[in-house]
Amino acid sequence: MSNTMHYKNFIGSVNYDDECGFLYGKIEAIDDLVTYEAKDVTGLKSAFQEAVEDYIHLCEETGKKPGKSYKGSFNVRFPQELHQKAAVKAAQKGISLNQLVKEAVEEYTR
């Protein structure tokens, strides 16, 4: 089971509010906050697609590139034991800890 939807290379989250009895989500991996909601799955899919179309149109109007700008760096927090294991593995391979993490993420996201 997936808690995401896909449309035109965009990813949308899927959440359920039990108190209000509706589904909701947001377009993920963009710099802006774009949300949508509906009472059922069919409506949520439609609302997500409409939100994507609106977002693309707004980006075109304002000359903004759709998506998220990534700097290429982020902080990662590990338990101390895992940090130590990773540092030892990097040293054994003769590479930096940064390179070890980069290789692991590349492998995981293939």
pLDDT tens digit sequence for 40-73: 999 999 999 999 999 999 999 999 999 988 888 8
* CATH 1.10.1220 residue ranges for the chain: 71-110
**CA neighbor of 35 nearest in space, from 21, 50, 56:** 50
* 43: exposed, middle or buried (Cβ count in 10 Å: 0-12, 13-18, 19+): middle
1 — pLDDT class (breaks 50, 70, 90): low
Strand partners, 15: 24
pLDDT in tens, 25-43: 999 999 999 999 999 999 9
- 9, 3 in Cβ contact below 8 A? no
Spatial separation of the C-alpha atoms in residues 79 and 77, rounded to whole Å: 7
Selected from 1.10.1220, 1.10.1200, 1.10.260, 3.30.70, the CATH number assigned to the domain covering 71-110 reads: 1.10.1220
